Amino acid sequence: MVYNVVTNVMVMNEVKRCRYFKMNLGLAATVDKGVKRDYNDKDKFAYNYSNTYKTFIYAQGNVGDIKFYIDHYIKDPVMAVYFSDNFEEFLFDIDFNQIKEKGIDGFLGYILKEVDTQYEERLRENTLKKAEPKKSGNPDLVLQNPGAVTYEDLKAYLEIERSQRYKNNNQL
């Protein structure tokens, strides 16, 4: 799996001390499209990030399959790790004391292990949510209290209306 990490300059300076870090400044953030400049869509992650957060990120390098980017608008010592192609975001507060104790290599390993653990928990929660029975709506609320109607209530009401129309059309 590909990991993309976005952080600020201060944290990136710590990451650059990793012995496996390879400098790779990536692609240009914008390209000339005739009349105007537009986001460069060759780097899919940077393009999605720019469209989502309305800011540019700049590639700094990589450690194996982990790509590192800088967002100059991030002021706090945090690290946002994006896992897989569906833009799963995991936020981590950076503890510089832990980096000093374990070293940057150990700290990055810790972060990756946490991402895997949290991702598995999210998948487990999503499967539990899918297994829960869906709420059935109350079609009477549409006529009794229209201000308190939920989507499920409206759906149940329309289903009853459709079935009544079908019965009326078949009786003729």
- Among 90, 71, 8, 4, smallest CA distance to 44 is for 4
Taking only the tens place, the pLDDT of each residue in 80-111 is 999 876 788 999 999 999 999 999 999 999 99
Please identify which residue in the block is written with the tokens 């700049």: 58
* Across 27-40, average pLDDT: 79
> So what's the pLDDT on residue 134?
66
Taking only the tens place, the pLDDT of each residue in 151-162 is 888 888 888 888
Whether 9 and 92 map to the same domain: the answer is yes
Whether 124 and 164 map to the same domain: the answer is no
> So what's the pLDDT on residue 172?
57
The parent domain of residue 100 ranges over 3-131
**Vertex 104 angle, CA 102 and 105, to 5°:** 85
Binned at pLDDT 50, 70 and 90, residue 171 comes out as low
Whether 91 and 158 map to the same domain: the answer is no
- 12 against 148, higher pLDDT: 12
- Average confidence score pLDDT of the chain: 87
Q: How many domains does the chain fold into?
A: 2
Whether 124 and 152 map to the same domain: the answer is no
CATH number at residue 90: 3.30.1930
Is residue 83 situated within a structural domain?
yes
